[in-house]
Amino acid sequence: DQQVKQNSPSLSVQEGRISILNCDYTNSMFDYFLWYKKYPAEGPTFLISISSIKDKNEDGRFTVFLNKSAKHLSLHIVPSQPGDSAVYFCAASEGQGAQKLVFGQGTRLTINP
Partner 1 sequence: GAVVSQHPSWVICKSGTSVKIECRSLDFQATTMFWYRQFPKKSLMLMATSNEGSKATYEQGVEKDKFLINHASLTLSTLTVTSAHPEDSSFYICSAQGDRAEAFFGQGTRLTVV
Among 17, 28, 29, 46, binds partner 1 (CB under 8 A): 46
Rounded to 5 degrees, what angle do the CA atoms 86, 84, 9 make? 40
Among 49, 52, 81, 110, binds partner 1 (CB under 8 A): 49
Q: Under DSSP, is residue 110 helix (H, G, I), strand (E, B) or coil? A: strand
Among 25, 85, 104, 109, binds partner 1 (CB under 8 A): 104
Distance CA 30, CA 71 (A): 9
Which residues, 6+ apart, have CB-to-CB distance to 60 below 8 Å? none
Should residue 25 be labelled a site residue for partner 1 when binding is judged by CB under 8 A? no
Q: Under DSSP, is residue 73 helix (H, G, I), strand (E, B) or coil? A: strand
Should residue 70 be labelled a site residue for partner 1 when binding is judged by CB under 8 A? no
Q: Could you give the residue ranges of the DSSP H alpha helices within 1-113? A: none
Should residue 73 be labelled a site residue for partner 1 when binding is judged by CB under 8 A? no
Among 25, 30, 88, 89, binds partner 1 (CB under 8 A): 89
Residues that bind partner 1 (CB under 8 A): 32, 34, 36, 41-46, 49, 89, 96-98, 100-106
